[in-house]
Structure 1
Amino acid sequence: MGSLDMADTFDYIIAGGGTAGCVVAHRLADDTNAKILIVEAGAHNKDLENVHMVGGWSKNFDGPEDWNIVSEPQPGADDRQIKLSRGRFLGGSSGVNGTLCIRGCKQDYDDWDLSGWDGEQFFAAMRKAETFHTKDWFTPAKGAHGTSGPLHNEPHDLAPISNLIMESFQSQGMPYNEDMFTTGETPHGCGHATRTHYKGLPGTTGADFVTNDHHRDNIEILVNTVVDKVNIRQTNDGLQAHSVDLIGPDGTWRTVHAQREIIVSGGAYCTPTILMRSGIGPAAELKKHDVQTVVDAPGVGQNLLDHLIVFAFYETEKEGLTTDYKVYHGNSLATTYEQWKKEKTGFLTSFPFGAFAFARLDDRLKDEPLWKEAQAQAAPGRDPMGLTKKQPNIEFFTTECYGGPKQYDQFPVDNKHAFAMITELFSPRSKGTVTLRSKDPMDNPVVDPNWLSDPLDVLVLSEGVKLGNEVIMQGKGTSGIVKGAWPADLTHHGYTTREQWVPYVKQQATTCYHAAGTCKMGKADDKMAVLDEKLRVRGVKGLRVADVSVMPTLHGGHTQMPAYGIGERAADFIKEAWA
């Protein structure tokens, strides 16, 4: 596997160059005497145009920049297999996402009940990562934004359809609160979600923490290199992680050694498989694949959480409301692309999401037998989904043109115009698993999200979709401008009962790419907790995890900002340990 020499020895090895891993490296490099290695399975991001051009995001799917993971068939979702795309390049999924900065609320993190992770501390970590740039029309919440981090972000200028939908949200009982998705203090209202882009380019991906203006001479980056496993040895002081086996782009093996710590940052799908190939995981699962158990950790690969979303598309005959004419009509895409190439302006500089809202559904569900039965068993002050009144049940967000997951390919040509209302389920009760397909590191894992297996998830999501339809069809801003569903065979615009929506939800529900929780942290008495509060792998010294797999429960927001915050907290803990 290679001999031990200084070329193969580092203070810190970060296994995974995604969002959180790059943040950890950036902060650890403050110690100029520390030698840091980032190992990334995919390419460097510097020449990936569709990473730097925000509107090119979907072109990263299904090719070498995508892990190309596909779920197991989902009985709760019409037995469909769902594509679970993740970024496979330096910066990871922060370079192939919706750019949204939706942090959740402080109660989400207070609920973890873990030292160092309360809402105030975690919101501070997310602020530390960012530099916010306002616009003339936007009034940011005082003290809510960071001013000195590598992550640049700004508000999004709404298309006309989004302003109309914002008006409809308000008329349907969701008051306007401009910066609510930053503060996390409004569980029922509408407002603006800031985005990680600025002046025509993504404000950052995780890669920008370790490249360009933030390049550090003490960070080495190995790309196109796959992490096989972490090697662990028995010492007088217990089990110690000491090296990592790698497979280079030409298929050769190499072992690199860590003098201080190894930080696994492979994400919710790949981190548990790295640990399992290293002998850390459920003993029965490891035995299936002829992997010797080093630490019997039953929680590795369990507790897979994700936010499900449902797209409902609508058509409008009014010109100029949506932005379809900039990409689908005639040769508009070529013109739009040339504008980006020459000026770094226009449609392709941002992600076509528009208006946003949070909603509580208590009043709408209070008489439902399933809800009432579950409420009787809920903890004091909690609803059947485990949430307080401070936490939303549902998020709504809208597109400003037609587009979404790959199955939505009925593009509105011939001067037609379409947009979507998207409904997202928070606090899912259904939990899935990630397991090994084999011990070959080139094999993708077996991912079973187990979506909609809990009937309460179906109840809440379908009621949310029903409310979203009411916003579009009855709301003050949009009532009268919607011709009907797009395409015509989706007749949902006429649905009036939740029962009508349930089959549609099962047919259309898909991932919001918020997979988390598969190597969760927890207290010492939690047998399913893989990590302690400092992100250390239980039972092994010198080994931590830093990515959204560490989350015990999924917050009410999007995972980009928590991924940056987890990277910041991990770096804090490591610096503290080696001070």
Structure 2
Amino acid sequence: MSAITLEPEGSVFDYIVCGGGTSGSVVAARLAENEDVSVLVIEAGQHNSLLENTIMVGGWSQNFDTEADWNIITEPSPGANGRQVKVSRGKFLGGSSGVNGTLCIRGTKQDYDDWKIPGWSGDEVFGYMKKAENFHSKDWFEADPKAHGYDGLLNTEPHDLAPISNMILESMQSQGLPLQPDMFTTGDNPHGCGHAPRTVYKGDRTTAADYLVNKGSNLMIKTETTVDKIILEGQGSNLRATAVSVVEKDGTKRELKARKEIIVSGGAYCSPAILLRSGLGPKNDLQSLGIDCKLDLPGVGQNLMDHLIVFIYYSTTQQGVTNDHLLYKPNALAEAYRQWKEEKRGPLSTFPFGAFAYARLDERLADDPLWKAAPRQEGRDPMGLTKSQPNIEFFSTECYGGPKQYDKFPDGENSHAFSLIAELFSPKSRGSVKLKSADPMDNPVVDHNYLANELDVLVLSEACRFANEIITKGSGTKDVCEGSWPVELTHHSYTKREEWVPYVKENATTCYHPGGTCKMGTPDDPMAVLDAQLRVKGVKGLRVADTSVMPLLNQGHTQMPAYAIGEKAADLIKSTAQDQGAFKRNFGHIEHVQVT
């Protein structure tokens, strides 16, 4: 796929997609299937083909803290000891699909039913996730064939486990989490363990940028170009999005016009920022920055959610159970790179997550005073979940590695480490995204407000206690776990929930699942930014399509919902176009420049 240089007379398109990340790439590619329309994708970062670490699965972290990362750091969260958290997002074609954990964990159908938005039921969203997928099974994997898609543009496959992961699966089962191999695809089991398919195929990462390959000349991509704002014409009920104001790599500003629709797909942090710079958002906030408020939409940038995780590392001296020796022994990393580059195998050809589980915590929290006293709706727990939805997720690492603070590496010869990660679902805490200034080159101010609600602390602390029991008491791991890692930690000996609270507050970090900041809602919801068709309320010709549209996060990971949102958005836009009649093809002059 080529980048493009646009001449002034070639600056008009039928559709403009602002953001070439996970959802945006899907929307653009699907719209461009109609050869009679012109589609432009505007991406702030580089073309993914220039970044090897978006293709080599094990190279994901090498994109962090570079120009391929939006490099957003949260405001201090009082509930997390005032810590600031680096919330990296992919800044290149394909977006965070090129740096994520590759996990295809859909959640449950009830998660989407809880949105209570017409057209977005669990059955419908699961259908779109299935539409996106081209699943390739393996002989050993007991897949549920009806749950997968086989005709989509996103190649997926199961992950071959390291020995430690099979041992952890055994421990999970011995601690009351039955094995259902493909439960993270079917979404029908809130309490069990299994395998998570990955966006990996034949040793390479698969990303949303794959959607854009081999498309016709009616699909154009403009990289290294920052979206400033949406140009709005008219007033009152006649407000319409007509163009996009952008800043090119050399600082040149220009406008690109859309005949039909503009779709904002900047993600949970950048989509609200684009709307805010366009004059769509809380009036007082906009006026304080000197931005003319075109439409007072108080929900823009509000309702920010994320899943928090806690890494719990363990040490072992048993040889060959983890993959540390394949990465940390002398010259091991160079050999791992050679294996991937030449043979598409080895530890860099996959992501080092292993075993997975969901769990309900009803019995474990039943006697807790806070849990018992907390308000709840009929048929739901204090977190707002039914018994068909998990409270938490566990997943393991097959070697040592995680956030930057984990920097005391085992040698892979005499020392080895692995982890079990506890993840909080349905957080009660909410944050916000605001503008630092009207300058599009300034990152937004992201305040996740992590662990502000004491129920979040309670559930995540209990999740850590349960995780520790799995490793230290489970039949598969109790005899190989020799203590905490780094060795000066003592978490392996914690038995009480209260012991885990300080650890959670100090170590909880993002799972990179932000959402909710441009949420869909019903007409009577004053905080809704979008209607059920993803249209910005009160503005014609403008939609948002990415995880910012989610009213509630799913009890899973957000990669597959992001693909589903892109697929659904494209269908909604096509339906509108059919209702309005076909558009004539008219591209203007476009000079294609081959990316090198």
Could you say whether these structures have the same fold, taking a TM-score greater than 0.5 normalized by the shorter chain as the test?
Answer: yes
Superposed CA offset, 1:242-300 (max 9, x none): 00000001110110000000000000000000000000000111011100100100000
SS at match of 1:261: strand
**What is the 5 A alignment of 1:41-120?**
41-120=44-123
Aligned ranges for residues 80-229 of structure 1 at < 5 Å?
A: 80-202=83-205, 204-211=206-213, 214-229=214-229
In the aligned structure 2, how far is the partner of 1:490 from the partner of 1:529?
45
The corresponding residue for 1:283 is 283
1:236 to 1:328, Cα distance in 2 relative to 1, 3 A: closer
- State how far apart, in whole Å, the 2-side matches of 1:170 and 1:124 are: 30
Q: How many residues align?
A: 572
Contact 1:268 1:515 in 2 (8 A): yes
Deviation at 1:216, TM superposition (A): 2.5
- What do the CA deviations read for 1:61-120 (whole angstroms, capped 9, x no partner)? 000000000001111111111101000000000000100000000000001011110000
Write the letter of the residue equivalent to 1:142.
P
Contact 1:263–1:544 (8 Å) recurs in 2: yes
- Partner Cα separation in structure 2 for residue 566 and residue 491 of structure 1: 43
Per-residue deviation, residues 364-390 of structure 1 (Å, max 9, x unmatched): 00111110011xx31110000000000
Cα separation, 1, equivalents of 2:312 and 2:340: 29
Preserved contact between residue 15 and residue 227 of structure 1 (Cα < 8 Å): yes
1:215 Cα deviation after fit: 2.6
**2:474 matches 1:471:** no
Q: Distance in 2 between matches of 1:349 and 1:4?
A: 41
> Contact (CA 8 Å) 2:32, 2:215: kept in 1 or not?
no
Distance 1:86 1:508 in 2: 20
User: 2:587 maps to what in 1?
Assistant: none
Amino acid corresponding to residue 101 of structure 1 in structure 2: C
Shift of 1:235: 6.4
3-state DSSP of counterpart to 1:162: helix
- Which residue identity lines up with residue 205 of structure 1 in the other structure? T
What is the match of residue 417 of structure 1? 416
Opposite residue 341 of structure 1, the aligned amino acid is: K
1:309-351 Cα deviation digits (max 9, x unpaired): 0000000110000000010111100111111111111111100
Structure-2 change in CA distance of 1:236 and 1:413 (3 Å): closer
Tell me what 2:405 maps to. Answer: 407
Question: Contact between 2:327 and 2:412, CA under 8 Å: does it hold in 1?
Answer: no
| 3-state DSSP of counterpart to 1:382 | coil
Q: How far off is 1:413 after superposition?
A: 1.3
Q: Contact 1:104–1:556 (CA<8 Å) still a contact in 2? A: yes
SS of the residue corresponding to residue 472 of structure 1 reads: helix
What CA deviation, in whole Å up to 9, does each residue of 1:136-185 have, x standing for no partner? Answer: 00121131001111100000011000000000000000000000000000
Map of 1:485-504 to 2, 5 A cutoff?
485-504=484-503
What is the CA–CA distance in structure 2 between the aligned matches of 1:488 and 1:317, rounded to whole Å? 12
What is the match of residue 510 of structure 1?
Answer: 509
Letter in 2 for 1:32: E
User: Is residue 448 of structure 1 aligned with residue 447 of structure 2?
Assistant: yes
- Structure 1 runs (4+) deviating above 2 angstroms are 3-6
The equivalent residue for 1:268 is 268
Q: Secondary structure at the match of 1:342?
A: helix
* CA offsets 1:433-464 (integer angstroms, 9 cap, x no match): 00000000000011110010000000000000
> Which deviations, in whole Å up to 9, do the C-alpha atoms of 1:388-409 show, x marking residues without a partner?
0000000000000000111111
Which amino acid in the other structure matches residue 327 of structure 1?
Answer: L
Deviation at 1:43, TM superposition (A): 0.1
* 1:30 matches 2:33: yes
Tell me, in whole angstroms, the C-alpha distance in 2 between the residues paired with 1:227 and 1:560: 23
Tell me which residue corresponds to 1:528.
527
SS at match of 2:151: coil
1:295 equivalent in structure 2: 295
Question: Which shows bigger deviation, 232-241 or 323-332?
Answer: 232-241
Q: Could you tell me how far apart the structure 2 residues matched to 1:6 and 1:523 are?
A: 40
State the distance in 2 between where 1:495 and 1:190 align: 23
Q: Does the Cα contact within 8 Å between 1:241 and 1:542 map onto a contact in 2?
A: yes
Alignment of 1:322-361 (within 5 A): 322-361=322-361
375, 379, 388: which one pairs with 1:390?
A: 388
In structure 2, C-alpha distance between the alignment counterparts of 1:566 and 1:417, rounded to whole Å: 40
The amino acid of 1:465's aligned partner reads C
Query: Quick one: which amino acid aligns to residue 336 of structure 1?
Result: A
Distance 2:384 2:287 in 1: 36
Q: Which one-letter code corresponds to 1:79 in the other structure?
A: G
Q: Is the 8 A contact 1:4 1:257 kept in 2?
A: no
Secondary structure at the residue paired with 1:143?
helix
Please state whether the residue corresponding to 1:70 is helix, strand or coil. Answer: coil
Q: In structure 2, what is the Cα distance between the partners aligned to 1:354 and 1:307? A: 19
Instruction: Output the CA distance in 2 between the equivalents of 1:569 and 1:136.
Output: 32
The CA deviation at 1:200 is: 1.1
Using the TM superposition, give the Cα deviation of residue 47 of structure 1 relative to its aligned residue in structure 2, in angstroms. Answer: 2.0
**What secondary structure, in the 3-state scheme, does the structure 1 residue paired with 2:165 have?**
helix
Flag the 1:4–1:134 CA change in 2: closer, same or farther, 3 A.
Answer: closer
Alignment of 1:250-265 (within 5 A): 250-265=250-265
Q: Distance in 2 between matches of 1:237 and 1:270?
A: 26
Distance 1:134 1:450 in 2: 40
1:156–1:194 CA contact under 8 A, matched in 2: yes
Give me the identity figure in percent: 61
Query: Does structure 2 retain, via aligned residues, the 8 Å contact 1:164–1:478?
Result: yes
Instruction: Tell me, yes or no, if the aligned pair for 1:210 and 1:216 is still in contact at 8 Å.
Output: no
Counterpart for residue 365 of structure 2: 365
Paired residue type of 1:131? N
SS in 1 for 2:356: strand
Return the alpha-carbon distance in structure 2 between the equivalents of residues 389 and 192 of structure 1.
Answer: 21
Q: TM-score, normalised by structure 1?
A: 0.98
Shift of 1:237: 6.3
**Contact 1:429/1:454 (8 A) holds in 2:** yes
Partner of 1:567: 566
Amino acid at match of 1:326: L
Residue 400 of structure 2 aligns to which amino acid in structure 1? Y
Q: Secondary structure at the match of 2:227?
A: strand
